[in-house]
Amino acid sequence: MTGPDYHKYCIAAVIPCYRVEREIQAVLQAVPEYINYVIVVDDASPDSTADLVTAAATRDDRITLIRHPSNQGVGGALVTGFRTALGLGAQIVVKIDGDGQMDLDRLPELLKPLVEGRADYSKGNRFRDFKSLQKMPLIRRIGNMGLGFLAKAATGYWNMFDPTNGFIAIRAEVLAQLPLVKIDRTYYFETSMLANLYLIGAVVKDVPMPARYQGEVSNLLVYRILFEFPPKLIATLLRRLVLKNFIYDFSMASIYLLTGLPLLVFGLTFGIYKWIHYASLGIPAPTGTVMLPTLSVLLGIQLLLSAIEIDLRSVPREPLSNSL
């Protein structure tokens, strides 16, 4: 069975670049011919990346170079490319890394669910290919597995994995609905994208896709995983819960949260206080004093588990966009 003819669609590729002078030429040469626009965003790279892209643009008129006067982060470069792609009238926008990690022969696998109207946003998932997973540097494997679970809770997409995978594609009409000013400018931008996609009800498709590691140094540093990402994930989770359950909608999950969380906090606070109080007196606490926080904690946990169950079943399943 043959796949869609991608020459029929207007597809733009956005390539954010920073210190990729060794890889960028090969990446540009590998961009498939059915890609109409190749938007390279040089994020104030101090090396010769921009010069190499300029030279490549003389041979390939699809290439457009945008240069940031100061570094805005990979998310900032991506947002610049997104806005340019929308202005060019692209129907689908693809993000490609400039360091050659992505196998562009796999690009049709990202595009197909978007063209057929089965998804609004597709992304690579390196954790479905166990052979390639063994080649992934250990620090990346550990970091991505931990971030994967936390990102599920923060974004609401419990059915996806590998949140830091940057090989993504999105339908332009869905991209236009996103508040691009709120997309994170750092390496957290992939999770930030997912969080905003969830709030508009976009369907995300995970596509098994091996990454290629060629000895480059990871920019996803340990300190980002341990110190920078957790506060952002917590903020993303809280924002999603408030907007979804109390601003955009009010459901049984909202009631469970409103009752379960106060009960849990009360039970823990009251129980700890009374435990310290009676321990200092050297006498056992009365049965009623023990039962009250115990029941509050148990009931609070049960209500929160019910809210989580509803959240697990609330992953968007109906695409916002139709087939092209």
At 169-205, the pLDDT tens digits run: 999 999 999 999 999 998 889 999 999 999 999 999 9
Q: Do residues 178 and 70 lie in contact, with contact meaning Cβ atoms separated by under 8 Å?
A: no
pTM metric for this prediction: 0.88
Distance CA 308, CA 46 (A): 47
Q: Over 60: is that where the pLDDT of 290 sits? A: yes
Q: What is the mean pLDDT of the chain?
A: 90
Distance CA 70, CA 2 (A): 45
Q: Over 90: is that where the pLDDT of 112 sits? A: yes
Distance CA 3, CA 301 (A): 49
Q: Over 60: is that where the pLDDT of 96 sits? A: yes
Q: Do residues 43 and 67 lie in contact, with contact meaning Cβ atoms separated by under 8 Å?
A: no
| Residue 136 confidence (pLDDT) | 65
Distance CA 225, CA 179 (A): 25
Q: Which two tokens stand for residue 203?
A: 């369907």
**Adjacent-strand bridge partners of 168:** 95, 123
Of the chain, the end-to-end C-alpha distance in Å amounts to: 19
Distance CA 84, CA 180 (A): 12
